[in-house]
Amino acid sequence: MKAGFVNIFGRPNAGKSTLLNALLQEKLAIVSPKVQTTRHRIKGFYTQPNEFQIVFSDTPGIMNPKYKLHERMMKYVKSALEDADVALLVVDIKDNWQELADLFASLALKVPSLVLINKCDTATAAKIQEAEAFFTSQPFANKVVCISALQTTDFSALLQQIVAFLPESEAFYNEDDLTDLPTKFFVGEMVREKIFDLLGDEIPYHSAVMVNEFKEQPEIIRIQADIIVQRETQKGIMLGQGGAMIKQIGSEARKNIEAFLGTKVFLQLFVKVRPKWRDNDHQLKEYGYGA
């Protein structure tokens, strides 16, 4: 039996969460075209009973923190750097390769590291070859693979390469489990994903979602969540004309939550203003970004 922690790192928007979902064939992590979508370390397990268990971790994109929420996000990255058995270094082929090479080298990883050049569906064969050659020559790269987290349907070769790097170990988690995070967490994330989808550039970064109530009743689950914003004007935008925006967020998120839970859901959303919550230790903890 082999088992270990395979942690995914990269810049914001590289496609880390898309990759986690593709590897697990399950939509666990939310994805958006905007940067800094993921704020937590999200574990997902891939288990082949009596053979191997890969404990994948998706992490927030690496960046320089500007407020305390960012610092928390980078703390989650740090924890994943510390316990990784294998590192997956995800590159957006359109990003600056040298800058990424410098970043990855600075992580000083002491574990096998696979560079995954992502979004290869958007690049020419020549460009892909060039990127492969560039990263293969980097001392931190044990292996370089070109992928499309979005379009590749068969990751079995990559999974085999990952398993080859895993240490001998018993499984860490129950073989039937997919993750160690509570359902409530994913519900909040699915609301947050809609905020990223439906609202302009700035507001998603000022928002958090807190699930207050999750009541399982016969044939329906009742969920009440708060959307936290920093300013009254943001609350107005979140609500929309005559409540149209919050209604749309709620109805689109509800559909995804129902698909995830496999049951009917009643979702009630309230919008609350909490000035500067992103820099407030107490509020960060309350909204799930504990130290």
Ligand X SMILES: Nc1nc2c(ncn2[C@@H]2O[C@H](COP(=O)(O)OP(=O)(O)OP(=O)(O)O)[C@@H](O)[C@H]2O)c(=O)[nH]1
State the Cα–Cα distance between residues 55 and 179, nearest whole angstrom: 9
Residue type, 192: R
Part in contact with Mg ion (CB under 5 A); list of ranges 10-18, 105-113, 115-123, 125-133? 10-18
Torsion of CA 237, 230, 221, 193, to 10 degrees: 70
* Strand residues in 119-186 grouped as ranges (E): 143-146
Question: Which residue's entry shows tokens 């309350």?
Answer: 286
Q: How many CA atoms lie within 13 A of 215 on its CB side?
A: 9
Give me the phi and psi of 169, to 5 degrees please. -170, 155
Task: Find, among 45, 34, 6, the residue nearest to 181 by Cα.
Answer: 45
One residue of 4, 44, 60, 288 binding ligand X per CB under 6 A? 60
Number of residues that bind Mg ion (CB under 5 A): 4
**Residue 61 binds ligand X, judged by CB under 6 A:** yes
Residues 13-52 that bind ligand X (CB under 6 A): 13-18, 31-33, 35-38
Cβ atoms 24, 56 nearer than 8 A: yes
Count CB-CB contacts under 10 A for residue 182: 11
| 143-162: contacts with ligand X (CB under 6 A) | 148-150
Site string for Mg ion, 15-54 (x = CB under 5 A): -xx-------------------xx----------------
Residues between 226 and 285 with contacts to ligand X, criterion CB under 6 A: none
Q: What binding mask, one character per residue, do residues 108-147 give for ligand X by CB under 6 A, x or -?
A: ----------xx-xx-------------------------
Stretch that binds ligand X, among 7-15, 138-146, 186-194, 198-206 (CB under 6 A): 7-15
Q: Which is nearer to Mg ion, 38 or 47 (CB)?
A: 38
Which one, 12 or 240, has the nearer CB to Mg ion? 12
Say whether residue 10 binds ligand X (CB under 6 A).
yes
Compute CA distances 119 → 66, 151, 170, 228, whole Å.
28, 9, 34, 33
Distance CA 83, CA 78 (A): 9
**Min CB(256)–Mg ion separation in Å:** 16
Q: Which residue is nearest to ligand X (CB)?
A: 61
Q: Is the dihedral of CA 19, 21, 24, 25 positive or negative?
A: negative
Footprint of Mg ion on this chain (CB under 5 A)?
16-17, 37-38
Footprint of ligand X on this chain (CB under 6 A)?
10, 12-18, 31-33, 35-38, 60-61, 118-119, 121-122, 148-150
